[in-house]
Structure 1
Amino acid sequence: MLFSGWDNLLRTLVVGVLAYIVLIMFLRVSGKRTLSKMNAFDLIVTVALGSTLATVLLAKEVALAEGILAFALLIGLQFTVTWSSVRVRWVRRLATGEPMMLLYGGEFLPEALMKSRVTKDEVRAATRSAGVDSLEKVLAVVLETDGSFSVVRSSEDGNGSSLVGVSGPHKSPESAER
């Protein structure tokens, strides 16, 4: 079917504009965290919001009010989980996971590579992207909770404190905090 009538087009136009405006307002009110760099939990919420918007736009059986409630529910749940994850460690671990050290002191950590399903070549690529020409110049490479790699260069005056909270073999003055 190529065309089912002007009423359907008008409904899609009106509901689409209103749903879009409401979604933008909800996202602005919920804060920057809702639109931040994504970990798996944030990605799921983003996909669910997009799916909800598409359903509200195209499914005649779903009223705009139901779509608005679904937006509010998803954003409210995301806010609740992120608020809790800032305050409760087990919620943070459940929602976002933990960063994983893949290389330390220029040496690959084979068990961590296997567990994270990352190859040595991917770690080398991350170090090249960071402008490092030798693994011996790298204190650590960390797979972050959002899937990105962080490359921490070795330095004589650094103490490795940025690695606190990262799963791995490092020993820094703050490792007792873990």
Structure 2
Amino acid sequence: MFFDKLADLGRIGLIGVLTYVLLIAVLRVSGKRTLAKMNAFDLVVTVALGSTLATILLSTDVSFTEGAAALILLIALQFAATWLSVRWAPLREALKSAPTLLLRDGELLTEAMRRQRVTDNEIYQAVRSQGIGDLAAVAAVVLETDGTFSVIPAQQAGARTALRDVDAARPGNASMPDSA
């Protein structure tokens, strides 16, 4: 159907404005980290917030108060989870994956790529997007916790201290030299 009732449009307009103001206020109070694109956990919360917002706007079965409570609950849980994960390593490890080394000193790490379901073409694309035409000129490609690739050119690798938290690149792991 194209149009049911004018009252339905009025409800969407009013609830939309109220929910938008509430969402902005709660997000401002909870801080920048609430919607940060940091990892899969953050993505799930962001999608859940969007889904909740859509339900509040479009479903007449959900009152504004119920929807507001749901939004506030999701944001409070996200805030609590991130606050606790900064202070308690076991929770941090449960909520967040570690970045993974996929290429080291120009060589593809096929086992790591297979575990992360990454193809060699995706690595090549990441390297090319940094303006690098030769894998030998790359010290490392890392699959970050948010699903993006970080490319570290060999000329800028230094002592590789930025790789300390990367799977297969941790100190004491023979598969990753301390420096090139």
TM-score norm. by structure 2 comes to 0.89
User: What is the match of residue 172 of structure 1?
Assistant: 178
Report if aligned partners of 2:37, 2:43 keep a CA contact under 8 Å in 1.
no
- The count of corresponding residues between Structure 1 and Structure 2 is 173
Deviates more, 1:143-152 or 1:91-100: 91-100
Structure 2 distance, partners of 1:73, 1:136, is: 49
State yes or no: 1:37 paired with 2:37.
yes
User: Post-superposition shift, 1:17?
Assistant: 0.7
User: Post-superposition shift, 1:131?
Assistant: 1.6
**Change in CA separation of 1:8 and 1:34 when aligned onto 2, cut-off 3 Å:** same
Question: Which amino acid in the other structure matches residue 153 of structure 2?
Answer: R
User: What is the match of residue 46 of structure 2?
Assistant: 46
TM-score norm. by structure 1 comes to 0.90
Report if aligned partners of 1:163, 1:170 keep a CA contact under 8 Å in 2.
no
User: Post-superposition shift, 1:38?
Assistant: 4.1
User: Post-superposition shift, 1:170?
Assistant: 1.6
User: What is the match of residue 135 of structure 1?
Assistant: 135
Report if aligned partners of 2:142, 2:151 keep a CA contact under 8 Å in 1.
yes
Q: What are the Cα deviations for residues 68-122 of structure 1, in whole angstroms up to 9, with x where unaligned?
A: 1101110011111111222222322222211000011111111101001111111
User: Post-superposition shift, 1:13?
Assistant: 1.2
Structure 1 distance, partners of 2:54, 2:92, is: 30
Report if aligned partners of 2:100, 2:166 keep a CA contact under 8 Å in 1.
yes
Question: Which amino acid in the other structure matches residue 140 of structure 2?
Answer: A
Q: Percent identity?
A: 50
User: What is the match of residue 171 of structure 2?
Assistant: none
User: What is the match of residue 176 of structure 1?
Assistant: none
Report if aligned partners of 2:139, 2:157 keep a CA contact under 8 Å in 1.
no
**Divergent runs of 4+, >4 A:** none
User: What is the match of residue 12 of structure 1?
Assistant: 12
State yes or no: 1:2 paired with 2:8.
no
Describe how 1:98-177 pairs up with structure 2 within 5 A: 98-155=98-155, 158-168=158-168, 169-172=175-178
Structure 1 segments unaligned to the other structure (5+ residues): 174-178
Q: What are the Cα deviations for residues 119-169 of structure 1, in whole angstroms up to 9, with x where unaligned?
A: 111111111111222111111100001110001122388111010010013
Structure 2 segments unaligned to the other structure (5+ residues): 169-174
